[in-house]
Amino acid sequence: MYLSGLYAYPIKSMGGITLEAWDVDGRGLRYDRRWMLVDEDSWFISQRELPRMALISVRIEPDRLVVNALQMPALELPLGPTTGKTVPARIWDDVVEASPVGEDADRWFGEFLDVRCRLVFLPDESVRPVDPDYGETGDQVGLADGFPFLLISEASLADLNARLEHPLPMNRFRPNLVVRGCEPFAEDGWRAVRIGSITFRVVKPCSRCAITTVDQESGATGKEPLRTLARFRRAGTKVLFGQNLIHDGTGTLCTGDPVEILQTR
């Protein structure tokens, strides 16, 4: 069993980056979900409200973040805040102190998405703890919904696709870690794993939302996969697919790294 896919999403709810090797810091994959858009009430914006966000692509260069979208000029952003100013930004039940990126970025996203919005960055000094019901003292996360990592096995997606009329790519589920070499939904039974040199706690199944129904290439929406998942992956009012992980150390992850199960449920 090994790590077959590694992905980061620098700007929350926008395009992901396929990685071969990447550093893990205290919050998760370096630069993963460190930027996000907020509305005029400082509440985060996602594909739930604006599926068109899927059409915005991002890449990381050594000294900048480059953002692209059809019929828009490339937007180049620094890999960190340029001033010490912060503003409160809301993500679910959390309020974090975030740094405004700048008016040029706000105009760019506002024009493409046709909304009034502001791009913010989570600086190193702003700590967002993981939900204490699942994390331990010192665990923190960036601007992901709740946890530093999301893991899905290739076999789980293959099982789902066998039930769908039109198979879906893994990017519908926006994982950070993809594993090859286990049985479908084997990850549901894991409690602790080691990937390469880094150990992870498998803390909570991922309840899926409407973002999974957004085609990440076109921005079109539909009813799948939630309709099919609800038939065999429902737990109460939630539909589950994938597992949330918290890391116990830093280092570098590489595709091809062995995955070792340390503890099961």
Provide the mean pLDDT of the chain.
Answer: 97
CATH code of the domain containing 145 = 2.40.33.20
How many domains is the chain built from? 2
Can you give the pLDDT at residue 84? Answer: 84
Shared-domain flag, residues 135 and 211: yes
Closest CA to 211 of 34, 6, 48, 30: 48
Let me know if residue 167 belongs to a domain.
Answer: yes
Can you give the pLDDT at residue 83? Answer: 81
Distance CA 178, CA 74 (A): 30
Give the range of the structural domain holding residue 153, as residue numbers without chain letter.
2-27+131-264
Closest CA to 220 of 54, 13, 68: 54
Q: What is the mean pLDDT of residues 151-165?
A: 98
Shared-domain flag, residues 161 and 113: no
**17-46: pLDDT as tens digits:** 999 999 999 999 999 999 999 999 999 999
Shared-domain flag, residues 135 and 7: yes
**99-109: pLDDT as tens digits:** 999 999 999 99
Can you give the pLDDT at residue 53? Answer: 98
Can you give the pLDDT at residue 82? Answer: 79
Let me know if residue 161 belongs to a domain.
Answer: yes
Q: What is the mean pLDDT of residues 167-179?
A: 98
Final residue of a domain: which of 121, 154, 171?
A: 121
10: enclosing H helix or E strand: none
Residue with tokens 């620098």: 10
Can you give the pLDDT at residue 73? Answer: 98
Shared-domain flag, residues 170 and 62: no
**199-229: pLDDT as tens digits:** 999 999 999 999 999 999 999 999 999 999 9
Let me know if residue 101 belongs to a domain.
Answer: yes
Q: What is the mean pLDDT of residues 180-204?
A: 98
Shared-domain flag, residues 22 and 38: no
Residue 180 has pLDDT above 90, yes or no: yes
**48-95: pLDDT as tens digits:** 999 999 999 999 999 999 999 999 999 999 998 878 899 999 999 999
pLDDT confidence tier of residue 192, bands split at 50, 70 and 90: very high
Q: Kindly report whether the peptide bond that precedes residue 225 is cis, defined as omega within 30 degrees of 0.
A: yes
Closest CA to 16 of 124, 130, 169: 169
Shared-domain flag, residues 109 and 203: no
- Phi, psi angles (nearest 5°) of residue 43: -90, 140
Let me know if residue 115 belongs to a domain.
Answer: yes
Can you give the pLDDT at residue 80? Answer: 86
175-214 in b/e burial notation, b at 16+ Cβ within 10 A? Answer: bbbbbeebeebbbbebebbbbbebbbbbbbbbbbeebbbb
Can you give the pLDDT at residue 164? Answer: 98
**124-146: pLDDT as tens digits:** 999 999 999 999 999 999 999 99
Q: What is the mean pLDDT of residues 5-15?
A: 98
pTM, to two decimals: 0.97
Can you give the pLDDT at residue 81? Answer: 81
CA atoms within 13 A on the CB side of 125: 10
Shared-domain flag, residues 7 and 84: no
Shared-domain flag, residues 9 and 93: no
Tell which phi-psi region holds residue 244, choosing left (phi > 0), alpha (psi between -120 and 50) or beta: beta
Shared-domain flag, residues 102 and 156: no
pLDDT confidence tier of residue 186, bands split at 50, 70 and 90: very high
Let me know if residue 126 belongs to a domain.
Answer: no
Can you give the pLDDT at residue 75? Answer: 98
